[in-house]
Chains A and B, each alone.
Chain A
């Protein structure tokens, strides 16, 4: 009689996988970051006061001196730019949040846990996306209060909001790279400004690009802030909506494709 020794691998209960672990981990990190926004409301308050000041400033101070092409009221030209600018500035929070976690040692703890590697960045950017939902709705209300009117319909408005959110999400990944590269919150804030200033101000967000010198127009016409602002204008004012929207989506998707892998690589290397 022969005995066949069957070696059964020792199933250690510690190695069992939780189905959809990535989703669970991402949800957990998102939740943790959102609690942070709730506990430190100053973050949210200051990041919304600033765009409100911009609205007041451009609408009532500079607005009279800025002429926009066509028969469009300046406030209708301005508000789409404000929405886009708001989410770009808001994305600094992604940089600061990640830099804070790196500095505090929390990232190190995450690295030593059997969690999905992608959840830290996915959770951070998802939390910032959720915050943008609140901020964009708030800014739309502010817009209505200062006379902004949607010339198209409710679908145009909804599409505009979704596009701004998608753009904001892509920007979060750009600033995730900044935060991870710099590694401490104060420097992250300082490093973010040179990235966002040319994007926001050398764009069609506040003024028509046609008023700029030729060399600057070349840049201003071909960058994601202008593309998204134009598409949001098209969605809320009417016009060549289709081509503008596709162009903006392409810019956002392209930004994501370039910056997300860089952020992931930096994250893996950093801790």
Chain B
């Protein structure tokens, strides 16, 4: 039987009195992308650090390609690539020198190192900057070089910890394409992200993590079916208008209708069709929303659907956390 690329059982890790991993279980099939989705501090980074042999777990068991991450750490290290949240590159070395260093320390055959570095520089569109020290690189270039470095020894399993946090949209799309390309070559990828869209577009399976626990583990399709494909939000302030709208819509629509203050939120998997029904119902009752927005579900909506609460207060939500402090994550 073919073993799993990654097998995690009841993994636990505490830092002082903070429980970072509260017994998580999941498996990753070979040649697939597995997404760990969750807010800052959910335990995603801790999980990756344990699997990449950087941290020792306090309890439980984890294997990468059948090798135990604690007892056979060195064998695991020979099979993985890790690109962390903060681009772990040497700012004083050039792009080429950084790749060379990681290749040599990754125990590649000497003759194989430079050709592989050139190949990755081309593939990541960094050939022109190959001889410049990394401190002259832009954020996106550093991130690309960081991912390239993690690929030097051709690892069959790749860990990407929030690879696109802080990247602009074009760089993000570019990195997504590269990840797809790797997977089509047979690489297994474990990816952490705060963006539902990213997990949806890349992952074959998504585990939603909150407070060190996995609260859902499914395909993106089924997760989205659970929470709807489109979210409509309307503001109806004053005179109990919001209440009336909720009553009316709950009666007429098959979709999920909620009220939060003056805001009415409808979550639906019927796409644009639902808008028609909403507006027709409201028009009939002479209820005119002050504003109306239609959007895709965010991670916050996933949380709302799965846990009944928003992303835990006190932690930065999915928005505005692109430059979040990496020190605060999972430590």
Which chain A residues (102-122) contact chain B, with CB distance < 8 Å? 104-106, 108-115, 119
Q: Is the CB of A21 within 8 A of B88?
A: no
Q: Is the CB of B49 within 8 A of A114?
A: no
What is the chain A residue whose CB lies nearest that of B79? A14
Whether a CB of chain B sits under 8 angstroms from the CB of A249 is no
Q: Is the CB of A114 within 8 A of B133?
A: no
Q: How close is B83's CB to chain A, nearest CB, in angstroms?
A: 9
Partner of A106, one of B89, B133, B326: B89
Whether a CB of chain B sits under 8 angstroms from the CB of A39 is yes
What is the chain B residue whose CB lies nearest that of A113? B105
Q: Which one of A28-36, A72-80, A139-147, A208-216 is at the interface?
A: A28-36
Whether a CB of chain A sits under 8 angstroms from the CB of B82 is yes
Whether a CB of chain A sits under 8 angstroms from the CB of B52 is yes
Partner of B133, one of A18, A29, A39, A112: A39
Q: Is the CB of A114 within 8 A of B54?
A: no
Q: How close is A112's CB to chain B, nearest CB, in angstroms?
A: 4
Whether a CB of chain A sits under 8 angstroms from the CB of B29 is no
Q: Is the CB of B85 within 8 A of A28?
A: no
Partner of B97, one of A35, A104, A106, A119: A35
Q: Which residues of A contact B107 (CB under 8 A)?
A: 18, 21, 114-115
Whether a CB of chain B sits under 8 angstroms from the CB of A25 is yes
Partner of B78, one of A14, A108, A119: A14
Q: Is the CB of B93 within 8 A of A32?
A: yes
Q: Which residues of B contact A39 (CB under 8 A)?
A: 92-93, 133
With A14-B78, A40-B92, A104-B86 already in contact, the answer to whether A115 and B105 are too (CB < 8 A) is yes
Interface of B is mostly: loop
A22 to B97, CA, bound (A): 20
Whether a CB of chain A sits under 8 angstroms from the CB of B231 is no
Q: Is the CB of B90 within 8 A of A106?
A: yes
Q: Is the CB of A104 within 8 A of B88?
A: yes
A18 to B111, CA, bound (A): 13
Q: Is the CB of A112 within 8 A of B53?
A: yes
Q: Which of B80, B87, B90 has the most CB of A within 10 A?
A: B90
A264 to B48, CA, bound (A): 24
What is the chain A residue whose CB lies nearest that of B83? A109
Q: Is the CB of B88 within 8 A of A35?
A: no
With A105-B85, A105-B86 already in contact, the answer to whether A111 and B54 are too (CB < 8 A) is yes
Partner of B149, one of A15, A35, A109, A115: A109
Partner of A110, one of B74, B105, B326: B105
With A32-B93, A114-B77 already in contact, the answer to whether A108 and B101 are too (CB < 8 A) is no
Partner of B101, one of A14, A32, A111, A114: A32
Which chain A residues (8-62) contact chain B, with CB distance < 8 Å? 14-15, 18, 21, 24-25, 28-29, 31-32, 35-36, 39-40
Whether a CB of chain A sits under 8 angstroms from the CB of B220 is no
A29 to B55, CA, bound (A): 22
Q: Which residues of B contact A36 (CB under 8 A)?
A: 90, 92-93
Whether a CB of chain B sits under 8 angstroms from the CB of A271 is yes
A111 to B54, CA, bound (A): 6
Q: Which residues of B contact A112 (CB under 8 A)?
A: 52-54, 77, 80, 82
Q: Which residues of A contact B104 (CB under 8 A)?
A: 24-25, 28
Q: Is the CB of A114 within 8 A of B92?
A: no
Whether a CB of chain A sits under 8 angstroms from the CB of B211 is no
Whether a CB of chain A sits under 8 angstroms from the CB of B39 is no
Which chain A residues (70-114) contact chain B, with CB distance < 8 Å? 104-106, 108-114
Q: Which of B78, B80, B133 has the most CB of A within 10 A?
A: B78
Q: How close is B76's CB to chain A, nearest CB, in angstroms?
A: 9
6 contacts between A and B (CB under 8 A): A15-B78, A104-B88, A105-B84, A112-B52, A113-B77, A114-B107
- Given contacts A32-B93, A108-B82, list 19 more A-B pairs with CB under 8 A: A14-B75, A24-B104, A28-B101, A28-B105, A32-B97, A35-B93, A36-B93, A104-B91, A105-B85, A106-B89, A106-B90, A108-B88, A109-B84, A111-B52, A111-B54, A112-B52, A112-B54, A115-B106, A271-B54
Q: Which 7 A-B pairs have the closest CB atoms?
A: A105-B88, A114-B77, A36-B92, A109-B88, A115-B105, A112-B82, A39-B92
